[in-house]
Amino acid sequence: MAIAALALAGCAGTGGGGGATTGIVTVSSNEPENPLIPANTNEVGGGLILNNIMSGLVYYNADGSVELDDAASIESDDNQNWTITLRDGLKFSDGTPVTAESYVKAWQWGASDPENLNQWWFGYAIPFAGFSDDGGDDTLALNVVDDKTFTVELAQPQADFSLALGYTVFFPLPDSFYDDPAAFGESPIGNGPYKVAEDGWIHDESITLEPNPEYTGPRTAQNGGVKMVFYATQEAAYADLLSDNLDIIQQVPSNALGTYKDDLGDRAVDQPAAIFQSFTMQGELPHFGYDEEGTLRRAAISHAINREEITDVIFQGTRTPATDFTSPVIDGYSTDIEGADVLTYDPEKAVELWNEANAISPWDGQFGLAYNADGGHQEWVDATVNSIKNVLGIDAVGVPYPDFAGLRTEVNNSTITSAFRTGWQFDYPGMYNILGALYLSGSGSNDAHYDNPDYDALIAQGAQAGSVDEANDYFHQAEALLFRDLPAIPLWYGAVNAGYSTAVDNVQYGWDSWPILYKVTKEG
């Protein structure tokens, strides 16, 4: 396999377009969970910023197709041993060069510490030779050949290696990062189309990005900068959009789904996206372990949720009830995985399974479903717990957290005492991305603490398969195990239901739901 020049893929746009404009584009977002370090960022608030201030070896077009960014070529004869060559003239925003060592050192650092949320990518999502769960310096089988060339040895072949390289964890880092990683996280230096403006990050309020004059890649900013505004609620963001005090919203609130197309006209966006929505119970949660009782209760809960009604009433038909653990825009999506009937609304079956679980260990207490109140989730959470409550006759309630960071802190620390909202916005357009990230033993995003050697083996076989179709066959077998064990309860697939103001043009939303900010134009 040799990728010397990836095919250029056309993307639909809104027209317009010559040179860059000077207006600063405002977009709704949320305060990042952590300082802005690629190896420790695995959520959308921080991810959107990093994807605009940093560049990787490849990037993704609006339709999910892949193109080269920092890389001039990515080559392999066996899908296991790879040679990567960089383009000429690459620089970070501080003027220092981006070299092969910039990539190698960053990847080694990301893999060095189990505390890094994305460490698992180097041993599980992508099986780098030399990786250790315990970390350690310079463990990965990487070799700097010269300033522009480095090699990668994987523990086994992986055909989609180059496809994954646009993800955050594979971004390079400048030498200044290693002097003080904590300080870097507050004032990151990148190599992408934008850079963080001086004093641009005002915590819990906004972050302002300005065009990076050192960037020479294909994603040159077509505007005067971007200001990401951190809103406490989607309703507040939408109100600002309607009054042209905000240029781009990433998602309209659920109470506006029935009206936003009338409100915005041809500025309304409605398109599929690679977003999977679910909720999760960690295996340590009483009554929901990975044992006979827990398996029965998870299935009962799933059968007690009327997904069709919730997506029709709460989301005005803009969501699609889940039939698998991926997304309809991902190659391999299926409607007939073995065991998927557990997603069917079946009150009688739900009660039957719940009573079987009670015979093992009687239910006590309250079923809580935690969510972040700043994300527009209350309506669907209330509808979901009411469905569970009405079918099973138990006390079921939503548990609001003020913000995303607060919720994720308890999830990551395993201190959460209820079920909790989860979802996945794909990092790259492949089934392995979600099935490996969320449910592989040891994965940094395995919020469910799921540990199934049979599942792990099937995912590994899929990752090493010789073709996408062959890989997807293994992944479908793995999904059957997920439907049996239900480490997460699939709900529905997301969509981009969003819009933009009268002040901007050339607005596109990508396959992953994010607005493609560098293309947006706005007069100053």
3-state secondary structure 210-267: EECCCCCCCCCCCCCEEEEEECCCHHHHHHHHHCCCCCEECCCCHHHCCCHHHHHHHH
Q: What is the mean pLDDT of the chain?
A: 93
Q: What is the dihedral of CA 273, 275, 65, 230, to 10 degrees?
A: 90
> Coil, strand or helix: which one is 455?
helix
> Coil, strand or helix: which one is 286?
coil
Provide the percentage of residues in the chain whose pLDDT is more than 90.
Answer: 81
**What average pLDDT does range 225-248 have in this prediction?**
96
Q: How far apart are CA 428 and CA 129, in angstroms?
A: 22
Judge whether residue 195 has pLDDT over 70: yes
CB distance 354 to 363 below 8 Å: yes
Task: Find where tokens 């609006």 sit.
Answer: 62
Burial 480-498 (b: 16+ CB within 10 A, else e): ebbbebbbbbbbbbbbbbb
Tell me which of 186-190, 287-291, 301-305, 423-427 is least confident. 423-427
Q: What is the pLDDT of residues 143-165, one digit of tens each?
A: 999 999 999 999 988 878 998 99
Q: Work out the pLDDT band at 435, boundaries 50, 70, 90.
A: very high
- For the ranges 44-48, 115-119, 383-387, 512-516, the maximum mean pLDDT occurs at 383-387
The ranges of the chain annotated as CATH 3.40.190.10 are: 2-6+20-223
Q: What is the pLDDT of residue 367?
A: 97
Contacts for 12-17: CB closer than 8 Å, 24+ residues apart: 12/62, 12/508, 13/506, 13/508, 13/519, 14/505, 14/506, 14/507, 14/508, 15/505, 15/506, 16/505, 16/506, 16/521, 17/222, 17/505, 17/506, 17/521
What is the CATH architecture assignment of 275-494? Roll (3.10)
Regarding predicted confidence, which is higher, 254 or 2?
254
The ranges of the chain annotated as CATH 3.10.105.10 are: 275-494
Q: What is the pLDDT of residues 64-103, one digit of tens each?
A: 889 999 999 999 998 899 999 999 999 999 999 999 999 9
Q: What is the pLDDT of residue 63?
A: 87
CB distance 449 to 413 below 8 Å: no
**What average pLDDT does range 18-33 have in this prediction?**
89
Give me 469's structure tokens: 């179709």
Q: What is the pLDDT of residue 14?
A: 35
Q: What is the pLDDT of residues 457-511, one digit of tens each?
A: 999 899 888 778 898 999 999 999 999 999 999 999 989 999 999 999 999 999 9
Pairing relationship of beta strands 367-372 and 419-425 according to DSSP bridges: parallel
Pairing relationship of beta strands 58-60 and 66-68 according to DSSP bridges: antiparallel
Distance (Å) of CA 417 to CA 197, 277, 288: 40, 20, 11
- Sign of the torsion formed by the C-alpha atoms of 507, 510, 513 and 515: negative
Look up the pTM and report it: 0.77
What CATH number labels 2-6+20-223?
3.40.190.10
Q: How far apart are CA 51 and CA 247, in angstroms?
A: 19
Q: What is the pLDDT of residue 1?
A: 32
Q: What is the pLDDT of residue 425?
A: 84
CB distance 301 to 388 below 8 Å: yes
Q: Work out the pLDDT band at 405, boundaries 50, 70, 90.
A: confident
Q: What is the pLDDT of residue 431?
A: 92
CB distance 517 to 27 below 8 Å: yes
Give me 37's structure tokens: 């370090």
Q: What is the pLDDT of residue 329?
A: 87
Q: What is the pLDDT of residue 387?
A: 98
Judge whether residue 12 has pLDDT over 80: no
Q: What is the pLDDT of residue 19?
A: 62
